[in-house]
Amino acid sequence: MSVDYLITGGIVIDGSHDGSSPVEADVAVQGDLIAAVGRLSHLTARQTIDARGLIVCPGFIDTHAHSEFTVLADGRAAGKAAQGMTTEINGNCGLSAAPLYGAARERREAELNELGIRERWSTFSEYFRLLESKGIALNFATLAGHGNIRASVVGYDDRPPDDNEMAAMRGLLRAAMTEGAAGLSTGLIYPPGLYADTPEIISLACEAAGHNGIYATHMRNEGDELIESLEEVVSIASGSGVRCHVSHLKTSGKKNWRKIGNALDVIDEARKRGLSVTCDRYPYTASSTDLDTVLPGWAYEGGHAQEIARLKNERTRLRRDVLMGFGGPSDWKKVMVSSVRSKKNKWMEGRTVVEIAAAQRKNEIDSVFDLLIEEDLAAGAVFFTMNEDNLAAILRKDYTAIGSDSAARSFDGVTAAGVPHPRGFGTCPRLLGKYVRDRGVLTLSQAVYRMTGLPASIFQIRGRGVIKEGFFADITVFDPVNVQDTADYRSPFQRPEGIHHVFINGTPVVFHGKGTDALPGRLLRKSVPA
């Protein structure tokens, strides 16, 4: 028998469960499938890869991606592929590629134009056809964003939907899941998600549960009201029967670090009651999101133009409310501007708010407000607000998967812009190097499971996440001694070390440490076998 690729002499960690034992074995790849695993010296191959001293494991599954638009602009997703990722779960934090109607579509126009995306769509079916026509490197699964659904029906008004609007929202979610979305996501700190009450979310979660979907949430609060927000997640799981997944679980802000025990207890107790509650986390102590999240919720009401108007005309009230969260320079030192759109302000990327304000001879709040106005709100930031001990405690939980919370970018081209969070380039190598090899927070087998078998189980990805005969040949081969991230907060566009080979559906996207620019990725529609 002859196969396409034969990976010989490696240490296989199959990703099947938390303590899966490493075993020396060969792995054969034929077409897009794993043809055999074991002692395979009787086979011949078109190409043989000597993996002695290397780990052979399933390709890593990024449980928390935001690549719906960047992969349309550049399907190579080189920053993700280079770190061993082979599948992404997109549509997180209430924002997805579809549905896009009315105010939801208008909100995305500037971002699409910035990425050079000329095509437009409204439904997932239309988006999926476009994505397939362009080609993608990684496998692509997605949730349906509550923000899209609510904005398409209600807009950005701070009010509950009426009965007809609620029925329309459920209809949009039903259509999205019929077209292949894996469930529902919310972003309850972002407009319009922050205007939704718990009963609204439970109603939509019931719809998701009826289609065997999952509910993933960027919770209402990850700091001062962390425990209450987790309790809301549990109430949604209990009230709808949906499987719940907490996105990027954290304790944000020093005064909230002490809450880690209580936070994990809420999840543990829910699981003991038989509720399905899981989470994901990235191996960094800084988060990243839109800079305007420093504003109070009332500032967003009514949409984009109204928010800009308030930044210009209601500064006294805004300043008072922002000061409640950011009291002075010591807080603003922890906020770094990561992206802007205008050439005029590019010098700010990679600098803290304190550094920018000093250069402008302004106070920090006015500097932020002026920047948001000048950038038409399109400014991103990194927030250094978390704690290493709490990160380790979260990583140790056997229900914690790994998600980068980043868009797929490449090292050149239209997506190689700004100073994005390094997690888009280093999440997996950082976990394997810093938190496995150097600090011993997890064993190697545990870390592999958190990035492969566990996310495949949580998101019900069939035929992936395990090294097994007949499964799709999504495979990562890495050096456990030398694997490490090299991307940092000032220079994120850096390839990791120690990732030797990455196969997606049997095709190398990284071969002997170099990207191939191949586009073998597939759409993983939940309702359609891949």
Task: Tell me the longest C-alpha to C-alpha distance in the chain.
Answer: 77
Specify the pLDDT at position 299: 96
What average pLDDT does the structure give for the chain?
96
CA end-to-end span of the chain = 26
**Whether the Cβ atoms of residue 374 and residue 456 lie closer than 8 Å to each other:** no
**Whether the Cβ atoms of residue 408 and residue 79 lie closer than 8 Å to each other:** yes
Domain coordinates of the chain in residue numbers?
Answer: 290-384
Q: From 50, 54, 56, select the one nearest 20 (Cα to Cα).
A: 56
Backbone angles phi, psi at 162, to 5 degrees: -80, 180
At 5-35, the pLDDT tens digits run 999 999 999 999 887 789 999 999 999 999 9
> With 50 as the cut, is the pLDDT of residue 358 above it?
yes
- List all residues 6 or more positions away from 507 whose beta carbon is below 8 Å from its beta carbon: 32, 516, 518, 520
- Cβ neighbours around 39 below 10 Å, total: 11
The proportion of the chain whose per-residue pLDDT surpasses 90, expressed as a percent, equals: 96
Cα(498)–Cα(245) distance, rounded to whole angstroms?
A: 31
> With 90 as the cut, is the pLDDT of residue 528 above it?
no
Specify the pLDDT at position 527: 65
Specify the pLDDT at position 328: 75
Dihedral sign for Cα atoms in the order 86, 437, 391, 273 = positive
Backbone angles phi, psi at 499, to 5 degrees: -95, 110
- DSSP three-state, residue 37: strand
At 455-473, the pLDDT tens digits run 999 999 999 999 999 999 9
**Whether the Cβ atoms of residue 250 and residue 263 lie closer than 8 Å to each other:** no
Report DSSP letters for 48-65, one per residue: EEE-TTSEEEEPEEESSB
> With 60 as the cut, is the pLDDT of residue 530 above it?
no
Specify the pLDDT at position 467: 98
The one-letter code for the residue type at 146 is H
At 130-183, the pLDDT tens digits run 999 999 999 999 999 999 999 999 999 999 999 999 999 999 999 999 999 999
Q: Which pTM was predicted?
A: 0.96
At 233-275, the pLDDT tens digits run 999 999 999 999 999 999 999 999 999 999 999 999 999 999 9
Place of tokens 């495949």: 456
Dihedral-angle region of residue 93 (phi above 0 means left; psi in -120 to 50 means alpha; beta otherwise): left
Specify the pLDDT at position 221: 97
